[in-house]
Structure 1
């Protein structure tokens, strides 16, 4: 690899990234939908296949997770208008913000309370289906609620599942795997919150903790799977199934926006802001959104200033061949779900022609936004889930953001724009922990 100084000379933005300053980056490799999609190995049929599988599992989900019955076993979250927060943002950052502001509440997804309930649960279900079909416990035409039986749980108990996680992915995979009867081990990095570990232990999940960060947890999970014959490793860094589970969100979002009378077309652009760790969740969602809205959908990733791994991988083009630590960035952030030092190569390469841009946000800003959203909308999110909230501010105040709007002939359309902020987690945070977060935001806002 080139020495760090050479990279910084080639890409001056890296200077600010290394200094852990907030940055906004417009992606020079962004392409039109038609051009960008030709390069990819996944397509709309892959996403539809994932959606059909989730429909097959809906009767089982509704049976074992009563909180999903209202939606007939569909794991989905609401989209809500946040006009009071819209005004608050304009006031906080002393800049009038045009358009309509909506929050996608994946923070309140049933079962595990974060965006990871999409990809993580989907991949566990796909693995269970593969095994059950192969061993004659199930046919695709069956009512999948038959999987909720002693016979099936005993069958799945011969198999194990392993995953490396900073917290939320481990929660979704642990809860779902344990429910089906799998033996499950979650390898957790040092930054994983205690309450997440405690919740998993209460479900009978084995937790292995590491002093190191997320990459070490993934590496150890991979080793476990290689050493145990019946162990299946869910690979957050490279999994197509996780990615497709997230992508299904976009098909459903399209209907939700239509139900809210939200128009997305050439005169009404859609801007979506997605908190990003290793990349699977935001990458999958962005992929699905581009399928649905093509050039009318503009997706931006949001990362903590101390863990900007995806941005570093995209700027340098090195993807998983570079980590933030190699650039002297410590990867320590209160946004535990985003505390990742090395990005997914699979996601980086897949999303490269489809991603409009990326930006970073400091922990202090996340806490201030957490308190502001609680005060204005009575919605409480975990710190990492606030990363998307500042996106519209960045787009309209940062130089590269303004240039992006100009370059894509969007300036006159911004008054009709829809800003969709993806809230990725928070509803399962214990009250006392959330209270600490809130008070910290109050203190920082004085």
Structure 2
């Protein structure tokens, strides 16, 4: 097996160069600290810029009147798609008890599992990109005039325009849901190419909205490839590129601005004496990448962002550790990319995201499916918060930050005496739209495993 060659080197050579890679290959849970991590002060320019993120936030503001009309569930929030921030002290105490450690700081969940419209973090980037495309089309066809109320997008005139155009996307599930729901509501023809690991209920929900779902036996990469191919054959079809889209990235980055305001409103300081740690479940990398990038631009060296991936799909971990990014897949290292965390079942990371975060991401860790299910049941019991398995990936982050493996990072960044005043945020990426029967099965799986 070790005779296998990856990018010109044998597996044994790779393992000697990156000893932690052997543990990844053996499907063990690992914490990798990014040795290329630098102070943000060493960067002189940022692309995308903060102005780009503010522009995205303003666009979402303009569309709020449309969102409110098209999706009445958002009336209370005045058409703004946002989630709450909850402290989960009982979960933190339970984690501390299980690992027999004193976990300093406060633990919160950012409730993107309950985002309106599509019930996951993808309601940010996915919906934003489709709205921007709709705006561009409306302007180019002379329908959208300056100063016009965007509720006009919910009219027959606008739908007639959009019905002549199509949108395609490749997805493991949640991105497909957000793109499908918003695009169909606007009047576009929609094609969602879905990998074998996408849950049946997500496919059924999309079809009920009039979306064409195309299924593949293969994994995420195949679904994206086929979606891209389809759009190249039709000049009226727009492809949402989860691997490389700047617009998706900007839609996600807006979350950082919103979180900053939430923390301020809750009187939670983030500064040199009060570090912030954020743990983001990672698939191809667009969602967590956009959020992490926005947070670094706002909080600089006072925020520490970590990605979390399943042990069977650690694509960003391998891509960043080796600096090969999208030139390498988990399958190159004989890892099967089969996980119950469907939203994270990605074999090849986004090179676009990996390169942008090369010096900004603090690290990546991996978690077994068994632990995802156990934490799912624990969180339900302790905090009455129900997430899908992939959304639990961030929960172990606070434990990792108090481990021996993180000691070097904590000391190097002068954090040891500040951990008592630290804040830790688990990004809950999906779950509220999971059918009750499916959630019951998730819970029972975790319950059996912990017994």
User: Which category of TM-score, normalised to the shorter sequence, fits these structures?
Assistant: over 0.9
Q: Aligned partners of 1:140, 1:29: CA distance in 2, in Å? A: 46
Comparing 40-49 with 156-165, greater Cα deviation is found at: 40-49
Show CA shifts across 1:380-423 (max 9, x none): 000000000010101212x3312111111101000000001100
Matched, 1:440 2:445: yes
Partner of 2:381: 375
Matched, 1:401 2:434: no
Candidates 82, 88, 91, aligned match of 1:82: 88
Partner of 2:133: 127
Q: Aligned partners of 1:250, 1:130: CA distance in 2, in Å? A: 25
**TM-score scaled to structure 1, two decimals?**
0.99
The 5 Å alignment of 1:40-79 reads: 40-79=46-85
Secondary structure at the residue paired with 2:148? Answer: coil
Structure 1 runs not aligned, ≥5 long: none
Deviation at 1:8, TM superposition (A): 1.5
Q: Aligned partners of 2:269, 2:204: CA distance in 1, in Å? A: 43
Partner of 2:436: 431
Partner of 1:7: 14
Comparing 403-412 with 271-280, greater Cα deviation is found at: 403-412
Matched, 1:168 2:149: no
Candidates 17, 20, 35, aligned match of 2:27: 20
Deviation at 1:5, TM superposition (A): 2.4
Q: Aligned partners of 1:41, 1:377: CA distance in 2, in Å? A: 39
Partner of 1:318: 324
Partner of 2:255: 249
Q: Aligned partners of 1:253, 1:176: CA distance in 2, in Å? A: 23
Q: Aligned partners of 2:369, 2:38: CA distance in 1, in Å? A: 32
Deviation at 1:265, TM superposition (A): 0.9
Secondary structure at the residue paired with 1:70? Answer: coil
Comparing 88-97 with 404-413, greater Cα deviation is found at: 88-97
Show CA shifts across 1:31-89 (max 9, x none): 111214x3642110110010011011000001110111111100000001111111111
- Please identify runs of 4+ aligned residues in structure 1 that moved more than 3 A: none
- Matched residue count: 444
Partner of 1:269: 275
Q: Aligned partners of 1:180, 1:34: CA distance in 2, in Å? A: 43
Show CA shifts across 1:265-308 (max 9, x none): 11110000000000000000000001111110100000000000
Q: Aligned partners of 1:109, 1:206: CA distance in 2, in Å? A: 24
Secondary structure at the residue paired with 1:71? Answer: coil
Matched, 1:155 2:186: no
Partner of 1:33: 40
Partner of 1:231: 237
Q: Aligned partners of 2:246, 2:317: CA distance in 1, in Å? A: 21
Preserved CA contact (<8 Å) 1:56 1:140: no
**TM-score scaled to structure 2, two decimals?**
0.97
Matched, 1:417 2:422: yes
Secondary structure at the residue paired with 2:348? Answer: coil
Q: Aligned partners of 1:101, 1:393: CA distance in 2, in Å? A: 11
Secondary structure at the residue paired with 1:368? Answer: helix
Matched, 1:306 2:312: yes
Q: Aligned partners of 1:413, 1:86: CA distance in 2, in Å? A: 18
Q: Aligned partners of 2:91, 2:146: CA distance in 1, in Å? A: 45
Deviation at 1:6, TM superposition (A): 1.8
Deviation at 1:339, TM superposition (A): 0.2
Q: Aligned partners of 1:197, 1:117: CA distance in 2, in Å? A: 17
Show CA shifts across 1:200-236 (max 9, x none): 0000000000000000000000000001120000000
Partner of 2:3: none
Candidates 194, 200, 204, aligned match of 2:200: 194
Secondary structure at the residue paired with 2:104? Answer: coil
Structure 2 runs not aligned, ≥5 long: 1-6
Q: Over the residues paired in the alignment, what is the CA RMSD in angstroms?
A: 0.8
Q: Aligned partners of 1:43, 1:229: CA distance in 2, in Å? A: 30
Candidates 125, 141, 144, aligned match of 1:138: 144
Partner of 1:334: 340
Show CA shifts across 1:161-204 (max 9, x none): 00000000000000000000000000000000000000000000
